[in-house]
Structure 1
Amino acid sequence: MLSFTEVATATNNAAWNCEQSKNGEWTCLNQGQPSQEAAQPKVITTKKAPQAEQPAVATETPARQPEPAVTQTTPIPASVQQEPAIQQAGQPADEKPAESVAVNPRKPRVTYAENQKPVTDETSPERNKPAATAVAKNPGWTCQSGTGANGNWNCNLVGPDPKGEAQAVADTETGTTWLTPAYDRQQERIFQTLRGEFEQDPWQNCSSWSAKKRKIKGTAGPTRDEANTDVLSDFSEVFEGEILNFAGNVDLNRADQHLSADKASYDSVADTMDAQGNVIYSEDTLALASDTVSISLGKDEARIRQAQFIEAGAPLRGTAEVMYRDNKSLSRYHEATFTSCPPGNQDWVMHASRVKINRESGQGSAKNAWLEFKGVPVVYTPYISFPVDNRRTSGLLAPTWSNTERNGFDFAAPFYWNIAPNYDAVITPRYMQKRGEMLRNKFRYLTESSQGSLGAEILPDDQLRDKSRYSATFKDNTRFTDRLTSATNLNYVSDKEYFNDMNNALGFQTNRFLPSTSYLNYSRPDFAISGGVNHYQSVDKTITDAGMPYDILPRVNMSLGHNFDNMPLALAMENQYTHFYHTDLVNGQRLNLAPSVSFPLESSAGFFIPKITGQYTNYQLTNRTAANQPDNISRFLPIFSADTGMTFEKQLDIGGSAYTHTLEPRLFYLYIPRKDQSDIPVFDTAAFDTSFYSLFRENRFSGVDRIQDANQITVAGSSRFIDAATGLEPLKISLGQILYFQDRTVNLPGVTDQTSTTSNFIGELSGQVTNHLSYTAGAQWDPEANGFARGLAMLKYRNQPDEIFDVGYRYRRNTPNDQSSFINPLNNVTTQTAVGQTISQTDVSFRWPLAAGWYGLGRWQYSFNFGKTTESFIGIEKENCCWRLRVIGRRYINGATTTDILAPDAKPENAVFVQLELKGLTGFGDQVDKFLQRNLNGYRPASYFED
């Protein structure tokens, strides 16, 4: 409290202007006599802080004023000069200090190593510790509206009068609790400061899902233990060589540890640091800010109140009323908030009464947690665990839900079980409103030589079908040695419509058969052998038992090949043994031997490759369905081919740009004698579709049950224009046709002989206009029908990952001789179609930026000959640093429930899907990204772009 004399003096002298600091000290200026010199501050030490209701009087600071001296609490070494002190507490106000000296100190440096006493670098005079410090205030006018009848303003001036200059307006708090930011502006500024403590921004490239994201790695323990500690400050003092006090711009560095504060005290024996005032501390992947921090540097322990922190490994940021650092990897937070959003973004924030983060296990947990999104509370949970890095941890995964016509409300809540570092499992209870409860489990393993998974799911009682339904799958890849490997993929379902009923509209079954395979492979230079089995199960209710493919029990492939370095000679031999099994058709064992010799003559100007192959095939047949058919059939056919081509180049100047123009003519002759093969069953053989590259095949059939008869020559050629500056190929033209010297009588069952003298005339056009824009076009002219048999045009734009656009048209005139499947060139998906139907359809797909980080995406397939949409979806997508949202609406015709998807009465289905992912926390909804990867050409998952 103030002494009686001091109170009387202050009362009788109206010119005193006083202000009280937080620690209970008064600072007064005497302004009674205008003719006197500028008033000096009078610091009055009190024993007790005044009550809160005492008024604070603004203090006007003189333009020039000596800094307060540090009051020395221990003897000062003789080698250190002491600066003259300013007016002391009991000194009269009108007296001047004994001596006034302008001081411009240099910061003392204290450096010490482990097990050593601190050493002070006394390059400048040491300052005394101040007895009191005036309360810091922003300069300028501070006004409040007056009270009473006159309503006058109550204003105080701090510092010189700004005379109308613009001043910063203090932050104000809003009165509503809804939509109130979790962090105010001052806290966000502190987060930005903490963000700068890391060499690499924790949120670097976080707004782009395709950008490279490199994890911030910590510093090794020995690096910190062996490092020296370097401290800079405005003032410092040392007690008995063990206790160090620092004041004013304290800056401490040791290895990855960094601390800055207004004041700090370090005990070199206990290796502890206490810091006060604007404290910033960072180490490894952690940075925090507080007013007071107590840290045990040797034990990596800390206690911080009113803390703000950033965990860069996740990355996460948040606040806590109290933060405890138990060791280098474990930290606890009371009354905490956290988010993965970068500073300046608070789209989602998790609040919790208790939070624990363990960087050693890579796991965090929170109690009594509730989530707010866009300022609105959405979810509460008494307990939640979450990862703080990319390591696997046990816990609940994001639930999925949907509402479909087949299943009603469909909800699944997967649980991830991290059994061991090399074993884990996902257990998923699932509820379908119309069908009942299902349980699904997928177990994964990883050993030194093997990796694989075992999955099973069961629906004990399907209420719609009144039966139990189930499925199982097993996948394994094993490497026994560098040359010996195995691959197994076994699958089974309870019925043909299982996938159609159990999958949602994002993943319904498109394959007609469910394969199961297992093979053992051995390879070395010039030699490879493999053996295994194939089994197929029908998952299409329209397929009869007779329409099932053959099981292969087993198949053995052996390949031999050798090229001679000193002569143009290449030897090869392709051998295969297969046992085909079918319950309703003829069975058989097939042995096929195909030795060959070729003489490749190649140079930069051209090539000539004659080749002779001997094709021997033997069949041992059983279960013949017709009488008087042989059980043992052998076939031998010699095959002769000669492939030759030339390459001509010329340099051109087009529009001032240099181009390389090439001309590449090519001839391919093929001769195979005619042999009747109608008594040979067709086990695994089909006809290739016609394309430019099929003009150079030795067999127009995919298997060896049919070897074509041929006496023909292919006349073809290509021409390219290559940009010499960029290396791009803006134009490539390919033309070709087969000239037949005889009719083709070897065909598949039900196909008539082909008597045309020429094949379709095939032309293809392609080019890359820029690094992002390319095009492809092709057509086949049928001289027999005098019309187009095939047509394709497609334009692609790729500016990965944000801009994807494809537009294409496809035409195919089907005849009874055509095979019943084709490959869609827009997405490389095999599509089934009925024989004899003509296809004329467009396909448009895109992903394109709209505005404010939003993207539109979709696909539309339209059939002109049937006048209907066969497949379409449209959606929007947005991603920023803390969340990703996708909304997809789909309209489609399910081929698993509709025999003919192009029929006029085919009923389309509609579905809407939503996926919301809160980065660093969890996700909600369906896995839309996997659907887009399958159905949007050029779309890539986020993992595709990671290191």
Structure 2
Amino acid sequence: MTRKLPPRRLLAVAAALALVGGQADAHSSPSPAAGASSAAADLACPLGSFHCAPRPVNYAMCRPNALLEFYDPVLMRDSSQRDSSPTQIQAQHVDSSNRSVYRLSGDVRLERADQLLRADRVDYNNDSTDYDARGNVRYQDASQLLAASHMRGNTNDSHGTANDLRYQMLDSRGNGTADLGQMLDAEHTRYTQATYSTCDVGHHVWEVRAKSITIDKVNGVGVARDASMRIGHVPILYLPYFSFPIDDRRKSGFLYPTMGHSGRSGYEISTPYYLNLAPNYDATLDPRYYSQRGPMLGGEFRYLTSRSAGQLEAQYVLKDHGVSDGLADTKGDSRYLVQFSDTTQLWQGWRFVSSYNHASDSSYLYDFGDNLTHSAIYTLGSNVALVGSGKWWNASVGGTIYQNMNPFSTDSGLPYRQLPYANFSMDIPLSNWLEAGVDSEAAAFRKTGYVEGQREDIYPWLAADFGSAAWFVRPKLAWRYTSYQLGSGRQDYGYYGLLGGGTSTPFTDASPSRSLPIVSLDSGLVFDRKASLFGNSYTQTLEPRLYYLYVPYRNQNNLPLFNTNAMTFDYWQLFSPNRFSGADRQMDANNLTAAVTTRLLDESGVERLSASIGQIQYFSPQRVQLPYGQNSVVPPTDWTRSDYVAQLDVRLNDRWRLASAYQWSPNTRRTDMGMLELQRRIGTDGVFNLSYRYRIGLLEQYNASVVYPVSERWRLVGSWTYSVKDRQSVDALAGVEYDSCCVALRLVGRSYVNQAYYGPTPATGLNRRDNAVMFEMVFKGLGSTGGQIEPLLRRDILGYQ
């Protein structure tokens, strides 16, 4: 028989029977029929992307409909209808002789909105709101399933107990069992002899078993006591007290340990502890132990206020008993690393930016760098600045210093300190086709044993922009004035003026300066037509471009080199007003660049092919050059033409990409630069990369990397870089990834150049190598044993997700 009762009468009961932590109502949870919380199919990272978003936790490999057996797929999933919906009751027998107590028996079914309670027998006291459900008790709502042999309690007081409990969270996939569940009040629940896992029901690859689990919804915390973490039936971790979050709020507690090995430090184990001190600041304590060096205490403090954001990281080794290979003897010494950064908003348009990075010695990062993701770092920079910006301007005032972190080199290789520096730039539109601006800087350069002084550089300009979608003409007129006030010191004209190895030369003029105009005219046309290739329709463009640059020659051999270097010549250098970085050199020019680009655009506007080629015609020699050793300067060039520079990017479909660049010198009749990159998507989550890079006199390297899906669960990963110049592999990585419904495993090994030093003799010019192995286990929905492998793979394998 079926009866309809007022909303107050019943199934406030059902809400009280949900003992599983009182899960929040589901508003948009995915359909369990489609695999509970299965993530949507991942979109592959676009080919050529340098930064691919991490893949979300994916439950697609879980069994479809892996739900407790009593799940009703047709039950309403809108929990907002509860208060206004009547209660539907079905039972074979209803006894209402006692007007205060309803006794229902025989396949009892109580349904209201998204709530459904089924049992062999239910007694409900309408006056006291006591309830008692017995025999095959099953409860379902939009967010959870619950089964027990017996439930009883009081709805007004929001307390109750359940025996022989099975539960499943439909939103977060959590499920488990308990001998006894107790709802202490509406916000707190306790389970005795309980388990928890995000694996399929009845197929727990891993689970947490605890003597008791307490759920605190107010603070978003779960606490397990006398708990063990198990893989299959094997316990791998025991904790007398284990706390975990039950929602997205942060909480204090141990993070999962990390384990690894490197040649410099030996075996490493880290057991970080997270401190949720306040909503706007937190800290992490990270005690570590290195088998070859001893214990280390690390920590991190982060803060966020209405005006400031920053973090402080520190590491301290009381006594290092490891081997010292560098110039500094560190064995037996205490060692440390401090890193601090902060950004503080002062007032509208102005902020204070600071960073401080300092290590106890130059070998610190060489010895204690991350054993897997470590790459050679030769300097640590610290900076403090006042930064401002407006609609048409930006400015900064500050200072920068550096610390040498190359354990096999002295401080002579460090850049100049800038104490202080100031920059100001302005760009003002005068009309819809004319704009004016200025770029300026002033800095005091400091470096022991080298010439020191101040430099001011001001670069006002006036530019126009005429054109339409089919053509453009952009003239620009600028003036550059640079002046110096030099103190006593000596300038080393080593390799590019900065790397040492040359002789010292005094400057006789204490106040040298340079002043010159810079005139350029950039112009181009854009033609397009319909084209067909391989049966597909495209729009093809032809874009010729001419760029004229005039800069008169000024002798700049009397100017020091504070922070200037020759930039790498590439396609964009064809249209640059200066081939030197920094203000210490301004090239002379009477040049005309001719270039042409063609593109293929598909019907949706996506660029499928881009090809460009260009060359500079020199009407006068390039007389401004960087000096080198022995008090000499590079003579003016007698070139009449630059290298031919060509580049090509082809993406005829979403699975293949080819990119290349090539530079050939008509003056020396040889290749100065070559680059080739081939990328192919393998399935939806695999990728293969092959590249070759060559720069005359500097490098010649081959690189191959792959993410190869062997099956739905297994992927092989690898990366290899070989240097022809060094005749050795500079970085090799190989690993395997396993993914399943609720657990993912990664095992990666790496052999790499930890530090490179090119000394005056072959004996001192050696690459220092290191080896590392790292294992990572990810328990989906719970956490992982670390996060070092994924950033490395994303860095070394283009397109990794």
After TM superposition, the score normalised by the length of structure 1 is: 0.72
Instruction: Measure the CA separation in 2 of the matches of 1:382 and 1:894.
Output: 41
The residue number in structure 2 matching 1:260 is: 118
Instruction: Measure the CA separation in 2 of the matches of 1:875 and 1:901.
Output: 34
Q: Answer yes or no: is the 8 Å Cα contact 1:336–1:351 preserved in 2.
A: yes
For residues 654-733 of structure 1, the aligned pairs below 5 Å read 654-724=533-603, 726-733=604-611
Q: SS in structure 1 opposite 2:755?
A: coil
The residue number in structure 1 matching 2:403 is: 537
Higher-RCO chain (CA-CA 8 Å, sequence separation at least 6) = 2
The residue number in structure 2 matching 1:446 is: 304
Q: Answer yes or no: is the 8 Å Cα contact 2:556–2:585 preserved in 1.
A: yes
Q: Quote the offset at 1:348 in angstroms.
A: 0.8
Cα deviation, 1:587-644, whole Å, max 9, x if unaligned, reads 2222211111112102011100111001111212112435561221222110100000
The residue number in structure 2 matching 1:759 is: 642
The residue number in structure 1 matching 2:69 is: none
For residues 368-447 of structure 1, the aligned pairs below 5 Å read 368-447=226-305
Q: Quote the offset at 1:863 in angstroms.
A: 2.5
For residues 323-334 of structure 1, the aligned pairs below 5 Å read 323-334=181-192
Q: Quote the offset at 1:788 in angstroms.
A: 0.9
Which of the pair is proportionally richer in strand? 2
Q: Answer yes or no: is the 8 Å Cα contact 1:545–1:584 preserved in 2.
A: no
For residues 494-573 of structure 1, the aligned pairs below 5 Å read 494-565=360-431, 567-573=432-438
Q: Answer yes or no: is the 8 Å Cα contact 2:744–2:777 preserved in 1.
A: yes
Instruction: Flag the 1:573–1:882 CA change in 2: closer, same or farther, 3 A.
Output: same
Q: SS in structure 2 opposite 1:931?
A: helix
The residue number in structure 2 matching 1:463 is: 321
**One-letter amino acid of the structure 1 residue matched with residue 798 of structure 2:** N
Task: Tell me if 1:210 matches 2:55.
Answer: yes
Instruction: Measure the CA separation in 2 of the matches of 1:200 and 1:293.
Output: 30
The one of 137, 146, 150 equivalent to 1:279 is 137
Task: Tell me if 1:112 matches 2:25.
Answer: no
Task: Tell me if 1:796 matches 2:690.
Answer: no
Q: SS in structure 2 opposite 1:326?
A: strand
Cα deviation, 1:501-521, whole Å, max 9, x if unaligned, reads 112431334221111122222
The one of 730, 733, 738 equivalent to 2:616 is 738
**Larger displacement relative to structure 2 (256-265 or 591-600):** 256-265
Instruction: Flag the 1:597–1:901 CA change in 2: closer, same or farther, 3 A.
Output: farther
Q: Quote the offset at 1:316 in angstroms.
A: 1.8
Instruction: Flag the 1:405–1:510 CA change in 2: closer, same or farther, 3 A.
Output: closer
Instruction: Measure the CA separation in 1 of the matches of 2:635 and 2:683.
Output: 48
Instruction: Flag the 1:898–1:336 CA change in 2: closer, same or farther, 3 A.
Output: farther
Task: Tell me if 1:771 matches 2:654.
Answer: yes
Instruction: Measure the CA separation in 2 of the matches of 1:328 and 1:206.
Output: 34
Instruction: Measure the CA separation in 1 of the matches of 2:784 and 2:535.
Output: 55
Q: Answer yes or no: is the 8 Å Cα contact 1:546–1:585 preserved in 2.
A: no
Task: Tell me if 1:637 matches 2:516.
Answer: yes
Q: Quote the offset at 1:897 in angstroms.
A: 7.2
The residue number in structure 2 matching 1:842 is: 702
Instruction: Measure the CA separation in 1 of the matches of 2:758 and 2:620.
Output: 43
Q: Answer yes or no: is the 8 Å Cα contact 1:866–1:904 preserved in 2.
A: no
Cα deviation, 1:729-764, whole Å, max 9, x if unaligned, reads 332210100000111111111233222111100111
**Larger displacement relative to structure 2 (473-482 or 545-554):** 473-482
Q: Answer yes or no: is the 8 Å Cα contact 2:645–2:663 preserved in 1.
A: yes
Instruction: Flag the 1:222–1:268 CA change in 2: closer, same or farther, 3 A.
Output: farther
Q: Answer yes or no: is the 8 Å Cα contact 1:797–1:806 preserved in 2.
A: yes
Q: Quote the offset at 1:862 in angstroms.
A: 1.6
Instruction: Measure the CA separation in 2 of the matches of 1:403 and 1:235.
Output: 69
Q: SS in structure 1 opposite 2:581?
A: coil
Q: Answer yes or no: is the 8 Å Cα contact 2:251–2:274 preserved in 1.
A: yes
Between structure 1 and structure 2, the one with the greater Rg is: 1
Q: Answer yes or no: is the 8 Å Cα contact 1:894–1:901 preserved in 2.
A: no
Instruction: Flag the 1:313–1:879 CA change in 2: closer, same or farther, 3 A.
Output: same
Instruction: Flag the 1:627–1:389 CA change in 2: closer, same or farther, 3 A.
Output: closer
For structure 2, list consecutive stretches of 5 or more residues without a partner in the other structure: 12-28, 43-53, 60-76, 323-330, 491-504, 629-633
Instruction: Flag the 1:752–1:880 CA change in 2: closer, same or farther, 3 A.
Output: farther
For structure 1, list consecutive stretches of 5 or more residues without a partner in the other structure: 1-106, 119-194, 815-836, 941-947
Cα deviation, 1:464-517, whole Å, max 9, x if unaligned, reads 312111111111122334522232221100100001111243133422111112
The residue number in structure 1 matching 2:104 is: 246
The residue number in structure 1 matching 2:68 is: none
Task: Tell me if 1:489 matches 2:355.
Answer: yes
Task: Tell me if 1:350 matches 2:350.
Answer: no
Q: Quote the offset at 1:902 in angstroms.
A: 13
Instruction: Flag the 1:698–1:691 CA change in 2: closer, same or farther, 3 A.
Output: same
**One-letter amino acid of the structure 2 residue matched with residue 761 of structure 1:** Y
Q: Answer yes or no: is the 8 Å Cα contact 1:795–1:807 preserved in 2.
A: yes
Q: Quote the offset at 1:289 in angstroms.
A: 0.7
Identity value in percent = 32
Q: Answer yes or no: is the 8 Å Cα contact 2:757–2:767 preserved in 1.
A: no
Instruction: Measure the CA separation in 1 of the matches of 2:302 and 2:105.
Output: 58
Q: Answer yes or no: is the 8 Å Cα contact 1:877–1:884 preserved in 2.
A: yes
Q: SS in structure 1 opposite 2:365?
A: helix
Instruction: Flag the 1:231–1:896 CA change in 2: closer, same or farther, 3 A.
Output: farther
Q: Quote the offset at 1:801 in angstroms.
A: 6.7
Instruction: Flag the 1:294–1:781 CA change in 2: closer, same or farther, 3 A.
Output: same
Instruction: Flag the 1:475–1:283 CA change in 2: closer, same or farther, 3 A.
Output: farther
Instruction: Measure the CA separation in 2 of the matches of 1:623 and 1:745.
Output: 28
**One-letter amino acid of the structure 2 residue matched with residue 912 of structure 1:** V
Instruction: Flag the 1:250–1:485 CA change in 2: closer, same or farther, 3 A.
Output: farther
Instruction: Measure the CA separation in 1 of the matches of 2:154 and 2:35.
Output: 27
Instruction: Measure the CA separation in 2 of the matches of 1:231 and 1:563.
Output: 75
Instruction: Measure the CA separation in 2 of the matches of 1:481 and 1:202.
Output: 49
Task: Tell me if 1:479 matches 2:345.
Answer: yes
Q: Answer yes or no: is the 8 Å Cα contact 2:351–2:386 preserved in 1.
A: yes
Instruction: Measure the CA separation in 2 of the matches of 1:367 and 1:117.
Output: 36
Q: Quote the offset at 1:538 in angstroms.
A: 0.7
Cα deviation, 1:396-452, whole Å, max 9, x if unaligned, reads 111222333322332221111111222211112222223222211211111122221
Q: Answer yes or no: is the 8 Å Cα contact 1:210–1:801 preserved in 2.
A: no
Q: SS in structure 2 opposite 1:496?
A: coil
Instruction: Flag the 1:547–1:372 CA change in 2: closer, same or farther, 3 A.
Output: closer
Instruction: Flag the 1:771–1:901 CA change in 2: closer, same or farther, 3 A.
Output: farther
Cα deviation, 1:71-110, whole Å, max 9, x if unaligned, reads xxxxxxxxxxxxxxxxxxxxxxxxxxxxxxxxxxxx4132
Aligned residues: 728
Instruction: Measure the CA separation in 1 of the matches of 2:438 and 2:712.
Output: 61
Cα deviation, 1:211-261, whole Å, max 9, x if unaligned, reads 4789xxxx9999866765443444434345432233344333446543222
Instruction: Measure the CA separation in 2 of the matches of 1:677 and 1:913.
Output: 53
Instruction: Flag the 1:446–1:716 CA change in 2: closer, same or farther, 3 A.
Output: same
Q: SS in structure 2 opposite 1:501?
A: helix
Task: Tell me if 1:576 matches 2:441.
Answer: yes
Q: SS in structure 1 opposite 2:795?
A: helix
Cα deviation, 1:525-552, whole Å, max 9, x if unaligned, reads 1122222221111101233333211111
**One-letter amino acid of the structure 2 residue matched with residue 737 of structure 1:** Q
